[in-house]
Amino acid sequence: MDSVVVGAFIAVLGWGISHIFTLRAQRKKFLDDIRNNSRIEISKALKEYINWLSLLYAYIINLEIKLGRMRTMNIPIDWNADHEKFLEIRPEAPDSWDWLIEEYRIIFPETAGVRVILSRRQYEIQEAICWFNNVFWKHPVEPDNLMQHRINNFKLLWDWRTYIEDQICLVIDLQIYLQNRALSEIAGIKIPARTPSDPSVCRIITSLNGNLIVVDGQGNEIKHSKQPFSSLDRWQSPIDNIHQRY
């Protein structure tokens, strides 16, 4: 009789332990599926945003080359075609990355501060594009002064190329971090933090408290946009100052 009870107890105990391990495995699979899905969705959205920034950056570089050829070799610019290219880029940038990171904040809570900084920087980039469109393309200028007007105002947009380039680097940093973070937890392998080949550029790192922060080339934390949008107020233009509220 005792052996029967002991046998039954062992069987129940074995079933209980097996059930616990099964539940743990199911829970891990459930969490891994969420991590993997969030990784895929956010990564896809960040790639779309990077592509948009890259198109904008390439447009600025290309326009600078055209203006240089026009000044040095007198090669005319097809302004209508160039304006059409600009209008293809100008619409609002893809923003699904922003709300996706916020939506999956429970999975990646350390991204909260970085998301805000990148969002503010994108707002400034978008406002700069709108300003450039109003001044460079839409502002009425006498035909004799049109070329010099556009050259002068392009110089102001040219100053923003490094700002856009920094934004691209930061978004790539975030994308790689989220990929490594999710995959390392799924695979159970710790992936070392990525360090940029150029230490002088701003980058995203993990702080001592585990949160992601943006630092400059000297390692100083940037808690706000590196270049305040109010700096655009120095851009002189006869049109109404759309930045007066700043």
Domain ranges of the chain: 43-190
At 81, phi and psi to the nearest 5?
-65, -40
DSSP annotation of 105: T
CB-based burial of residue 3 (10 Å sphere; 0-12 exposed, 13-18 middle, 19+ buried)? Answer: exposed
> pTM of whole model > 0.85?
no
Strand segments (E) across the chain? 203-206, 212-215, 221-222
Percent of the chain residues topping a pLDDT of 70: 71
Contact 103, 41 (CB under 8 A): no
Element of type H or E holding 124? helix 112-132
The pLDDT tens digits of the residues spanning 141-166 come to 666 666 777 777 777 777 788 888 88
The dihedral region occupied by 94, where left means phi > 0, alpha psi between -120 and 50, and beta the remainder, is beta
Q: 207-218, pLDDT tens digit by residue?
A: 888 889 888 777
Average pLDDT over residues 109-132: 88
Overall average pLDDT of the 87-100 stretch = 82
Query: CA dist 40 to 48, 100, 175, 179, 183, Å?
Result: 12, 11, 10, 8, 11
First vs last C-alpha separation in the chain: 87
| Start-end of H helices in 133-160 | 143-158
Cβ atoms 129, 138 nearer than 8 A: no
How far is residue 35's CA from residue 28's CA, in Å, rounded to a whole number? Answer: 10
Q: Strand, coil or helix: what is 215?
A: strand
